[in-house]
Amino acid sequence: MDYRASELAPEILTQSLKPYKPFMPVLHIIVILLIAAVLVYGNRVRKLFTTFIGVNYLLIAFLQNTAATEKYGLGIITGNVVWFSMIGLLWLWDLKVEATDYTFHRQPLWRYWLAPLAVLAFWSPDKPWDFNPIYFLTSDAPLAFCLMTSIYLSIFYLLHPRVNLPTLRVTSFIGTLLGIFNIGIGFMIWGSEGLYHGFIHVPLLVSSLCCFILSIKESRKETF
């Protein structure tokens, strides 16, 4: 494999979201308001919330994975664009089939164990180990697949099994693959920066693996 290909992807991911930094506070607030709305109003905001998820993934597909780099010119991580676009289209498909029921019920406290990981993903300090609260408004989370997927899956975990299972399965499967890959990258980078890279992707791996296993178990129940 051409060594330039292995250098291009990190270069794209480093540069791609910089032009959108000024919009991050607004995007963070939108995400907070929509999550609050779906938690409070449930199915009354189903179409709005599902549309946002689908559009969010489509934006992530192209904005996070496309960049004009100084060294290589225009670069596109094609695989990510295809994967993330597929996830976005699957959630938009849920607008038609309405397989996800956003009615939240009171649950045992332990069922909320993914919530702290979702908060960490939403916070996601841009600088390693710099846990300044300002990152709750300025981090790249709203346009980053690994971070937003952790947040969405923590919600669908609470709704399971009243979720669009095929869409949940695809989303969590891809999330699991990228979680393993990025934590592996952290070990390769080594040092404090590599450790942080792995640490910040733990929410993605844990939430994705958990939801993927649940979706498989539910499918087997439906089979028998």
Domain with 17, as residue range(s), is 3-223
- The pLDDT assigned to 117 comes to 97
Question: What per-residue confidence (pLDDT) applies to 106?
Answer: 86
What separation in angstroms does the CA of 125 have from each of 43, 119, 129, 210, 217? 32, 11, 7, 24, 35
Backbone angles phi, psi at 74, to 5 degrees: -70, 125
> For position 10, what pLDDT does the model report?
87
Helices (H) then strands (E): counts for the chain: 10, 2
Compute the Cα dihedral for 197, 146, 171, 39 and give only its sign: positive
Radius of gyration from C-alpha coordinates of the chain = 17
Q: What is the pLDDT of residue 124?
A: 95
Q: Cα–chain-centroid distance for residue 173?
A: 12
Report how far apart, in Å, the C-alpha atoms of 224 and of each of 165, 169, 202, 220 are.
16, 19, 34, 6
Task: Tell me the pTM.
Answer: 0.93
Strands 66-69 and 73-76: antiparallel
DSSP state of 143: G
pLDDT digits (tens), the chain, 224 positions: 344 556 788 899 999 999 999 999 999 999 999 999 999 999 999 999 999 999 999 999 999 999 988 887 899 999 999 999 999 999 999 999 999 999 998 889 999 999 999 999 999 998 999 999 999 999 999 999 999 999 999 999 999 889 999 999 999 999 999 999 999 998 887 789 999 999 999 999 999 999 999 999 876 665 43
Q: Which residue has the tokens 């969405």?
A: 152
Q: How many domains does the chain have?
A: 1
